[in-house]
Amino acid sequence: MAENVEYKVGDHDTRPWGEWLVLDTGEHHIVKRITVNPGARLSLQYHNFRKERWTAVAGEGLAEIDGVKHPLGLGGSVEVPLKAHHRASNPGKEPFVFIEVQYGDKLSEDDIVRVEDDYNRP
């Protein structure tokens, strides 16, 4: 595994808003399945070293990128540019699931800079 990738297939974490699971890794990419619980949202955040592409695979949600809200339903996708302030949310009653492809020079949980967080995490 490349030094810039700190994930491995099967890595998983539960967060206050839902959970993520690593599906694939490569030298410059990570693929995660992210599930956002009904009524929940991720922190408003940005990354210094990676871009992301999100593709909805179940439920419906919203992608907020630099203040613009993009509704996402099955097959809908958005690109999250480097350093863009972004978050995913689920205003619905069913889980919102999307595939996140991260790509860049450093792929690590340490590259999350939270701007705003409903759960008061640093």
Identify whether 7 is part of a domain: no
Domain residue limits at 19: 12-116
CATH number at residue 87: 2.60.120.10
Q: Which conformational region is residue 14 in: left (phi greater than 0), alpha (psi within -120 to 50 degrees), or beta? A: beta
| pTM as predicted | 0.92
Q: How far apart are CA 11 and CA 109, in angstroms?
A: 12
Count of structural domains within the chain: 1
- pLDDT per residue rounded down to tens, the chain (122 residues): 344 568 899 999 999 999 999 999 998 999 999 999 999 999 999 999 999 999 999 999 999 999 999 999 999 999 999 999 999 999 999 999 999 999 998 898 889 999 999 998 87
Q: How far apart are CA 93 and CA 69, in angstroms?
A: 19
Identify whether 122 is part of a domain: no
Is the distance from CB of 75 to CB of 61 less than 8 angstroms? no
- The length of the chain in residues reads 122
Identify whether 4 is part of a domain: no
Identify whether 29 is part of a domain: yes
Identify whether 2 is part of a domain: no
Backbone angles phi and psi of 26, in degrees to 5: -150, -175
